[in-house]
């Protein structure tokens, strides 16, 4: 295909082994990008990469194995990416999940908050110098319409006193939006933009590791009405590649259109940033 938008560009997609992430990687590879993907299991990630190469017609799909709920794994991933790629044009923070019950990571943090918010927060900060060096560059973060139901429990971010899987997920998706807004503010004038999106309700294995009884009951009823992973990936691909959003930053998108996010998303973003930096051990000198 001629005039591919992303020829010569490198786009890192986290959580690219299935669902929206894999469909996003296919879409970006089809546009000519070199697309490294991450996955917890190397074998599964290698199988996914082979599928992405075959479906996109692009052989430039690479694999990194990392459990991004672990700070040490995020640090290792960032170091490997910086070693392997002299340039990085786009970071797509796609990895995430839902757990009905409270789980604790190797760092002693609640799993939903650690994977859905702290992982992209830390990885983005670690890769920002490379992104800025290759500006114009983009950071695209996958949130959810659940952000509208989210509330930041600053007195109990880890759900240690009272845990609800849905509440934890909503909070983490709100955190994605708040992170993006503060990131965009801090990146003003650097040539790196930050956007966040709702991918729609998509048919994936989302929540399969630890589903609630209600989720299991309702899924067969609503599944036929859900979007395909390709449809869910469309806004991520658009924000990572389209000339229409060159220079557009600090915005929330649905169906590739800028929308207003929840009222709560416009408050206390700086507070969340500082708390997040403390939780991942990111010194002020390492931040933007």
For 138, other C-beta atoms within 10 Å of its C-beta total 25
CB-count exposure of residue 285 (10 Å: 0-12, 13-18, 19+): exposed
On whether residue 92 sits in a domain, the answer given is: yes
Q: Is residue 41 part of a domain?
A: yes
Residue 175 parent element (H or E): helix 165-186
The whole-number pLDDT of residue 218 equals 47
Instruction: Say which CATH number the domain at 145 has.
Output: 3.40.50.720
Domain with 121 in it = 11-279
pLDDT score of 209 more than 80 = no
pLDDT reported for residue 207: 45
4 domain-assigned: no
Domain contains 64: yes
Residues tagged active-site = 169
Please check whether residue 3 lies inside any domain of the structure. Answer: no
- pLDDT tens digits, 134-193: 999 999 999 999 999 999 999 999 999 999 999 999 999 999 999 999 999 999 999 999
Instruction: Output the six-digit token pair for 229.
Output: 């992973």
Mean pLDDT of the chain: 92
Please check whether residue 251 lies inside any domain of the structure.
yes
Q: Is the pTM of this model over 0.75?
A: yes
Q: What percent of the chain has pLDDT over 90?
A: 86
Residues of the chain above pLDDT 70, percent = 89
**Is residue 200 very low, low, confident or very high in pLDDT (cuts 50, 70, 90)?**
confident
Q: With respect to residue 274, please indicate whether it lies within any of the assigned structural domains.
A: yes
Has residue 30 got a pLDDT over 60?
yes
Total of domains in the chain: 1
Domain annotation covers residue 6: no
């Amino acid at each position: 295909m001629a005039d591919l938008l992303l020829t010569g560009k490198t786009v890192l997609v986290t959580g690219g082994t299935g669902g929206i992430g894999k469909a996003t990687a296919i879409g970006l590879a089809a546009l000519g990008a070199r697309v490294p993907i991450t996955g917890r299991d190397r074998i599964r990630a290698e199988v996914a990469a082979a599928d992405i190469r075959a479906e996109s017609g692009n052989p430039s799909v690479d694999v990194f194995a990392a459990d991004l709920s672990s700070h040490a794994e995020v640090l290792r991933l960032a170091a490997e990416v910086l070693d392997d790629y002299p340039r990085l044009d786009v970071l797509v923070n796609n990895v995430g999940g839902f757990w009905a019950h409270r789980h604790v990571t190797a760092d002693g943090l609640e799993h939903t908050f650690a994977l859905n918010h702290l992982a992209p927060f830390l990885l983005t900060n670690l890769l920002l110098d490379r992104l800025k060096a290759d500006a114009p560059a983009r950071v695209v973060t996958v949130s959810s319409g659940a952000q509208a139901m989210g509330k930041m429990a600053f007195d109990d971010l880890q759900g240690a006193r009272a845990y609800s899987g849905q509440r934890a997920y909503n909070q983490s998706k709100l955190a994605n939006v708040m992170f993006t807004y503060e990131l965009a503010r801090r990146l003003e004038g650097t040539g790196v933009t930050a956007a966040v999106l709702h991918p729609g309700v998509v048919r994936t294995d989302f929540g399969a590791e630890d589903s609630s009884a209600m989720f299991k009951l309702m899924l067969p009823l609503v599944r036929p009405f859900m979007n395909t992973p390709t449809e869910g990936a469309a806004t991520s691909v658009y924000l990572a590649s389209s000339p229409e959003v060159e220079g557009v930053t600090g915005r929330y998108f649905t169906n590739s259109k800028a929308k207003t996010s929840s009222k709560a998303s416009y408050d206390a973003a700086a507070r969340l940033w500082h708390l997040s930096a403390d939780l991942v051990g990111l010194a002020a000198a390492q931040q933007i």
